[in-house]
Amino acid sequence: MTQSFRIRLYQMDAVVGDFDANLQKIARAADQARADGISMLVVPELALTGYPPEDLLLRPALIDKLTAADLMLQEISRDLTLCVGAPSAAAAAISDWALGNNSARPASLLNSLLIYRNGEHILSYHKQSLPNYQVFDERRYFVAGTQSMVCDLDGLRVGLLVCEDVWVPDIVEATCRLGADLILVVNASPFAEGKFDERLDHLKHRASVNQVPIAYVNLVGGQDELIFDGGSLVVDRNGEIIAQATFFAEDRLDVVWDGQHLIGDRVEHTPSDDALLYQALVTGVRDYFSKTGFRKAVLGLSGGIDSALTLAVAVDALGADNVHAVMMPYLYTADISVTDAKRQAEILGCEFSIVPIEPMVREFMQTLAPFFDGHPVDTTEENLQSRCRGVLLMALSNKTGALVLTTGNKSEMAVGYATLYGDMAGGFAVLKDVWKTRVYDLARFVNRATEVIPERVIVRPPSAELAPGQEDSDSLPPYDRLDTMLSLYIESDVSPDEIIDAGFDPVEVKRMCRLVDINEYKRRQSAVGPRVTVRGFGRDRRYPIANRWSF
């Protein structure tokens, strides 16, 4: 074989459902690869359709689209080996379609790595391990492949895997037994805090145990609540990193097979945990807007830390000219809250408005007075304030076309410390999966070089300012303790008794767990938001609203 075989991993951002744009992007990458003397171009899992395509895979027109795309990919692969992640239809499905059976079963689809060379489709590898946990639901759409496979490219034997396959030791070992010189893995692996280190440790272990280099190309970009961080990498047969791409941006990572070894010469810096999390949120906002057609955002800026962080993320994602911050003070809003909100908007250079809600709240209260007569003042009056703010923001959204960003964090959403049709009203919940303790970490990260969020916003005791002298600590335990309890209960499925045994107050634990359970109905109505922990309040949490499960 040729002693120098150049491989390019194209860390690609694919738009779900946009076959034409994704094919054009692959074609441009192929043109550049040919110009650069690349032998093989590799794009991520399901790069043709974007990931996850969900029930678009059930559409009757899918097989026609796949057939047309296959012909285009053959043309794109002239003078090149092209490896593309895409759905493929089993022979039975294609036969049914040819006979006019529009109800060809989706179970006939496979999650495949398609290999094209010099204008021909030469090989198809089908993913063997279909994940069906957390955010993954692949068995709804695909049947599993059953055969390990290598592709012989002029004597270079490339073992083929798709994402979850590399996490199954038996599949990796079976591929190596076929004589693979290297393993190629195409992936759509979503971001969560700590996920990159977990991936890296696993790849290092699999490579060293099997004494085979592994090239791992990952998807990048935001898709609804999922965020793909890229970070594509290559490890040698001893598990040492020889190449690593950047994070949260499209990138091209080149390595060379010299006849015996893979050689790489670029290893990008891995950012800090705070930097990765912040960039994940920015990517989630930016891509949700760009892929849904929204350009501008509007949000309530309260002078508190959650809205302050949300504003910083929005400006970094969309640009200051596309963000409108609205302060909506009431009788209980501290003067310093107005001052700090205005100051942050000035620092960031975004549009800022002050709209007092006292006249609206007063009108509501007068209208409702006959119905409230004889009832004590409670959270109803507090929620009216929040709902007036929600009405204002939604009206601005309807009139201007700006999408409302909600500002609540995961700690609040967990225990229902939020108002339906009030501060929960909006189109995208930026901090939905960010614990309050991490909100503070990220605020300090934002201020690492210069003050973006006024320091007083970070150090003040948190408050919804819905009642005189109100602080979050009146209703909730300190956030460091609360977040630990909630993380154990929500993300690790630890029972209340086990949390108590770990040293937490029994009354506090049982109250917090009960609040989590009874507020499922509220979270189900919340806006979609970026998933950044191992278990968010979205695709990977499916608890029934009406149930009688007890601790």
Q: Please give the positions annotated as active site.
A: 45, 127, 163
- 203 vs 232: CA distance, rounded Å: 11
- 194 vs 318: CA distance, rounded Å: 26
Residues of 117-134 as b/e, b for ≥16 C-beta within 10 angstroms? beeebbbbbbbbbbeeee
- 231 vs 242: CA distance, rounded Å: 13
133 contacts 167 by C-beta, under 8 angstroms: no
- 413 vs 520: CA distance, rounded Å: 9
Residues of 264-290 as b/e, b for ≥16 C-beta within 10 angstroms? beeebebbeebbbbbbbbbbbbbbbbb
Q: CB 116: neighbour CB atoms within 10 A?
A: 23
Whether omega before 271 lies within 30 degrees of 0, making that bond cis, reads: no
66 contacts 86 by C-beta, under 8 angstroms: yes
352 contacts 342 by C-beta, under 8 angstroms: yes
93 contacts 66 by C-beta, under 8 angstroms: no
Query: C-alpha distances in angstroms, 378 versus 372, 375, 381, 382, 465?
Result: 11, 9, 6, 7, 14
- 421 vs 81: CA distance, rounded Å: 53
- 498 vs 321: CA distance, rounded Å: 50
Both tokens of residue 399?
């009139």
Give the DSSP letter string of 383-407.
HHHHHHHHHHHHHHHHHH-PEEEE-
Greatest CA separation found in the chain? 89
Query: Which are the contacts of 296, defined by CB distance < 8 A and separation ≥ 6?
Result: 318, 322, 323, 324, 400, 401, 402, 403
CA 186, 284, 274, 269 dihedral sign is positive
The closest of 91, 9, 15, 82 to 46, measured between CA atoms, is 15
Q: CB 486: neighbour CB atoms within 10 A?
A: 24
188 contacts 231 by C-beta, under 8 angstroms: no
Q: CB 336: neighbour CB atoms within 10 A?
A: 13
Around 388, how many Cα atoms within 13 Å sit in the side-chain half-sphere? 22
